[in-house]
């Protein structure tokens, strides 16, 4: 059976790196992974981890791809030996933390250029072929922060490998349904309890114990957040 060709952006660290390893070392050996990096000089940790995990030869390749540069995206696409990408993972992104008034002038524009315009550039490069073939899957790493205005607990990230594998095979856009159905009901708690304590308690139950979030009123009262900012 032909392997699924997966191209992932932003593989120098974090989710991109670990997803690339997870797929390249998958026991089914059903994935060929193109792990792309903005700067190939940063590919050392990926290859060290690939060696440690015993990724089979030919399961993983690295390509240079900077999502801010359309030419670099086109060049990466041209180097996909199979001539097609079955699964495109738009993962490259930059975070922005801290109080708004502390951001430097270019900070917001630069985040939008990578996270939003960069994702669009990558989609523009790969979608036409998927449409022509009437086949393909696109996964975009976003943030629950976009829905909740709140950072998820780190454990969500640690669970990420399994979540991606599920999304990769799911007939529907699973993560969107998951976040909408499970987390949006919790929003009400943010208004009902301005301290944020009940919201955090309910969120903790959902994230760590996989309990239903459908009735947020079930959430037990919680200690107010230590930092006073509501961060988990």
Shortest CA distance to 91 belongs to which of 46, 155, 21, 138? 138
CB of 2 to ligand NAP, least distance (A): 27
DSSP string, 57-88: TTSEEEEE--TT-HHHHHHHHHT-TTS--SEE
CB of 218 to ligand NAP, least distance (A): 26
Is the Cβ of residue 94 or residue 133 nearer to ligand NAP in the bound state? 94
Given the complex with ligand NAP, which of 3 and 74 has the nearer CB atom?
Answer: 74
Give least dist CB 161 to ligand NAP, A.
12
Smallest distance from the beta carbon of 174 to ligand NAP, in angstroms? 17
**Could you tell me the strand order of the sheet in which 137-140 lies?**
60-64, 31-37, 4-8, 87-90, 137-140
Nearer to ligand NAP, 156 or 187 (CB): 156
Which DSSP category does 139 fall into? E
Dihedral Cα 139, 73, 20, 61, nearest 10 deg: 150
Give yes or no for a contact between 203 and 185, defined as CB atoms under 8 angstroms apart.
Answer: no
CB of 163 to ligand NAP, least distance (A): 12
Instruction: Name the β-bridge partners of 37.
Output: 64
Q: Which is nearer to ligand NAP, 62 or 141 (CB)?
A: 141
Which of 152/185 has CB closer to ligand NAP?
A: 152
Query: Which residue, chain included where needed, has tokens 């009123």?
Result: 217
Residue ranges that bind ligand NAP, judged by CB under 6 A = 9-16, 38-39, 42, 66-68, 91-95, 114, 118, 141, 143, 152, 157
Tokens of 80: 């996909």
């Amino acid at each position: 059976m032909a392997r699924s060709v997966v191209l992932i952006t932003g593989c120098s660290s974090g989710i991109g790196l670990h997803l690339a390893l997870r797929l390249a070392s998958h026991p089914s050996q059903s994935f060929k992974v193109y792990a792309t990096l903005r700067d190939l000089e940063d590919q050392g940790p990926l290859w060290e981890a690939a060696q440690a995990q015993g990724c089979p030869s030919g399961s993983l390749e690295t390509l240079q791809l900077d999502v801010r540069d359309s030419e670099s995206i086109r060049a990466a696409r041209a180097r996909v030996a199979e001539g097609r990408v079955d699964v495109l993972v738009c993962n490259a992104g930059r975070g922005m933390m801290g109080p708004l008034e502390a951001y430097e002038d270019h900070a917001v524009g630069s985040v939008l250029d990578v996270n939003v315009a960069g994702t669009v550039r990558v989609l523009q490069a790969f979608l036409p072929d998927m449409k022509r073939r009437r086949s393909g899957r696109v996964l975009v790493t976003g943030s629950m922060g976009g829905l909740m205005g709140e950072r998820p607990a780190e454990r969500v990230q640690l669970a990420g490998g399994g979540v991606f594998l599920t999304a990769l095979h799911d007939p529907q856009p699973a993560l969107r349904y998951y976040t909408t159905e499970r987390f949006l009901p919790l929003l009400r708690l943010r208004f009902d309890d301005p301290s944020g304590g009940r919201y955090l308690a309910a969120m903790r139950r959902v994230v760590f114990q996989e309990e239903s979030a459908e009735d947020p009123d079930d959430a037990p009262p919680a200690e107010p957040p230590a930092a006073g900012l509501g961060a988990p």
